[in-house]
Amino acid sequence: MKRLGRRCLSALALLTVGLFPACSNHNLPTGTIEKKYYAQGPWAVTVKPGLYCCDSQNHKFDFYYPTNLGANGFQHPIITWGNGTFGQASNVAWFLNHLASWGFVVIAAEDSFTGRGQTILDAANFMVHANGDSTNIFYHKLNTGQIGAVGHSQGAGGAGNALIKSGGTIKTMVLIELPAHKWCTDGLECFNATKVTSGSVFFIDGSSDLLISPPKQDPGVTTEESAEKFYSDVPAGVLKLKGTLLGPDHNDITGQPSCQNAAAQPCVNGVYGYLGYPTAWLMDQLQGDTYAHGAFVNGTGEIFSQTTNWEYVASNIQ
């Protein structure tokens, strides 16, 4: 499997000539739990760009949500999404549709510079208000006590900052291709993992994304310059998990689902590997799904055995 990882990394050598070859492994699920949550969920999904307004910077909100809201009295947990730099929710439509199919209402501020986290938090707060507004389609349909923040690249840092600023409103976060601190420039507010004092976090990076989000820390470096260092800096009392997907580069999350369908570059495999365990994590943390929880238990969880797709896995979850 290490040989496969190196083949994927060899794609980097071809980027200079504009070629983005796919690896032979597309991160298709192999574990029983991962396969369950990789599959489309039971809810039909509605997409509504710009449905409501506005965040504190006057951006509208895009929505991905179960079509039959509140069916059988179900109250939907909320996901607030953080776009990467110059990004928009439609860039990750496959991923956000997938989350909504599992019963989550996904809101994304139309902000392409989300690093400070405020607009991501604004979106979460909008949903709390919407649940109590009789004129809103989400009125009494939401579980406002179960909110997660998910983001990519700059939006990953923003999702982390949103949780820190939320005062407990945001319960968990999934941070995808979180940039090393050296990329936090131009006045952006870096995500500081030591300030995470509540909730839970799942760090995900791709093995080919060595430039922006390397999995391992260089010896002697003390700032947060890798997924390994971010993970270790989260206080021990906070539930945390990390894993490196074998193959993907910085923008695989934008696959629709492959890199050949409207994905941003660099992209190696596509969105496939980001569907199963991230969804299971949110089902565990926000919907109390004990079956999903079994994937993440330290040492014995299914994700630790998935050497075809994941490496550098660590967890403090019991």
The pLDDT-based confidence of 189 (bands split at 50, 70, 90) is confident
How far are the Cα atoms of 151, 184, 290 from residue 206, in angstroms, in the given order?
14, 19, 27
- Asked if the model's pLDDT at residue 206 lies above 50, the reply is yes
d(CA 183, CA 190): 9
pTM of the model: 0.92
Q: Which pair of tokens denotes residue 97? A: 């549709």
Radius of gyration of the chain (CA): 18
User: Cβ contacts of residue 309 below 8 Å, gap of 6+?
Assistant: 25, 27, 29, 30, 34, 245, 246, 273
In single-letter form, the type of residue at position 151 comes to G
pLDDT at 306: 85
β-partners of residue 80 are: 107, 149
In single-letter form, the type of residue at position 58 comes to N
In tens, the pLDDT along 100-138 reads: 999 999 999 999 999 999 999 999 999 999 999 999 999
> What is the DSSP pairing of strand 60-66 with strand 45-53?
antiparallel
Give the DSSP H/E element, type plus range, for residue 224.
none
pLDDT at 187: 58
Domains and CATH numbers, the chain: 2-315 (3.40.50.1820)
d(CA 248, CA 180): 17
User: Cβ contacts of residue 93 below 8 Å, gap of 6+?
Assistant: 47, 64, 256
Closest CA to 178 of 119, 123, 250: 250
In tens, the pLDDT along 271-318 reads: 999 999 999 999 999 999 999 999 999 999 999 998 889 999 999 999
- The b/e string for 41-67 (b: 16+ C-beta within 10 A; e otherwise) is bebebbbeeebbeebeeebebbbbbbe
The pLDDT-based confidence of 186 (bands split at 50, 70, 90) is low
pLDDT at 4: 33
d(CA 101, CA 89): 16
pLDDT at 9: 37
The label of the residue with tokens 């990394």 reads 9
How far are the Cα atoms of 105, 154, 177, 212 from residue 188, in angstroms, in the given order?
28, 9, 17, 15
Q: Which pair of tokens denotes residue 122? A: 């604004």
Which has the minimum average pLDDT: 18-27, 32-41, 104-113, 185-194? 18-27
d(CA 201, CA 231): 9
In single-letter form, the type of residue at position 283 comes to M
Q: Which pair of tokens denotes residue 60? A: 């509208």
